[in-house]
Structure 1
Amino acid sequence: MRDPLKSTSQVIRRFFRLLCWQLLLTFACVLPQAARAAEETVEITRAYIEAAEEGYRLSAGFSFELNHGLEDAIQSGVPLHFTTEISFTRPRWYWFDEKAVTAKRTYKLWYDVFLRQYHVTIIGSVQQTFSTLEDALFFIRRPTRWVVAPRGALKAGEVYNVTLRMGMDRDYLPKPIQVNAFNNSEWRLSSNKKTFQYRAE
């Protein structure tokens, strides 16, 4: 005659063994995704200021890729926005740093599902059309020189700390998507702040 207690303990052990395997499989799937999410950032590959007749221009380059979630969003007609922010501050020993210039530029990327074309618009400026997503992203990664400050905004000979940041701007997402985006690592795509010095000409 079988011992009911022994049979019950065997069932419990099997249950916990199965549960452990399921947990291990879950972690095996989640950890690589988390590692990839951590790597999905924007790298500022080039950044310097040029003095020109029309003012001070930013020459910059960025490196980033869209993960599958963001690519699916684009293909479904959800527009993505990428914002570059820059500021010039001048150190002052007797008071807080002087904030001389702050500027922002936003690129809107979206896909026309009927014409099968990608569009990139610099908000308040030009629009470009591309046949592939890679071409559209290249336009965002290698932006044209941007006049970030007019002549006279900086004092010639003074040294300024220039802080630059670029990333996907989730504030522009449709409201229903925003709730999910702010709690989902797949929707985080941004650079760290890059700071360098510039002596105004």
Structure 2
Amino acid sequence: MTLACALPHAAHASDETVEITRAYIEAAEEGYRLRADYAFELSHGLEDAVQSGVSLHFTTEISFTRPRWYWFDEKAVTAKRTHKLWYDVLTRQYHVKIIGSVAQPFQSLDEALFFIRRPTRWVVAPRGALKVGETYNVSLRMGMDKDYLPKPIQVNAFNNSEWRLSSNKKTFQYRAE
């Protein structure tokens, strides 16, 4: 999908949904990488929460299943990756950290959100995890993970539509190379 095709999708994203505007799998030396782009905006309530010191976590989940006629589909690979977004009042910088790696500072919320919306290619499966030549159904979902919120905020988040920020499950096929 070209950039011109991806931009109209971003305009349709509402405050309460994440739209997966592009998603595909690439075969590489180190394994199979996900390339995905997302379109979403934070509501005013979420922006205020971040600027007040609440960290937001955005989790991407992916799974590869292989259809079988004689039994349930074979679950070949499942993976999950979480981005943490927070604001540091002392340095007046936003930070984004992929859980398990080093945080990156950003001068504005828009820059930090751009990093989350257009993540780096992520190795979701090592070489050999998929059978070459087989076709897999790939399911992808991305959204704000309320499980990481402090408990008092979790209660409000489950009852407040401003805190429901997630995508529908996107499913596509991939033939392993």
Structure 2 gap segments, 5+ residues each: 1-13
| Matching residue of 1:42 | 18
| Matching residue of 2:87 | 111
The CA distance in 2 between the partners of 1:120 and 1:64, in whole Å, is: 16
2:58 is the counterpart of 1:82: yes
Which has the higher mean CA deviation after the structures are superposed, 39-48 or 129-138? 39-48
| Matching residue of 1:98 | 74
2:99 is the counterpart of 1:123: yes
The CA distance in 1 between the partners of 2:103 and 2:130, in whole Å, is: 30
1:149 maps to amino acid: A
| Structure 1 residue 40, shift from structure 2 partner | 2.1
Structure 1 runs (4+) deviating above 6 angstroms are none
Q: What's the CA shift string for 1:125-181, capped at 9, x where partnerless?
A: 131100000000000000000000000000000000000000000000001110111
Q: Is contact 2:16–2:165 with CA below 8 Å preserved after alignment?
A: yes
The CA distance in 2 between the partners of 1:169 and 1:39, in whole Å, is: 16
Give the TM-score of the pair, scaled to structure 2: 0.91
Larger of the two Rg values belongs to structure: 1
The CA distance in 2 between the partners of 1:75 and 1:127, in whole Å, is: 17
1:148 maps to amino acid: V
The CA distance in 2 between the partners of 1:136 and 1:84, in whole Å, is: 17
**3-state secondary structure, aligned to 2:165:** coil
| Structure 1 residue 185, shift from structure 2 partner | 0.5
Quick one: percent identity of the two aligned structures?
86
| Matching residue of 2:131 | 155
**3-state secondary structure, aligned to 1:140:** helix
Structure 1 gap segments, 5+ residues each: 1-37
- Structure 2 counterpart of 1:166, from 127, 137, 142: 142
CA RMSD in angstroms comes to 0.8
The CA distance in 2 between the partners of 1:39 and 1:76, in whole Å, is: 20
The count of corresponding residues between Structure 1 and Structure 2 is 164
After superposition, residues 56-67 of structure 1 pair within 5 angstroms as 56-67=32-43
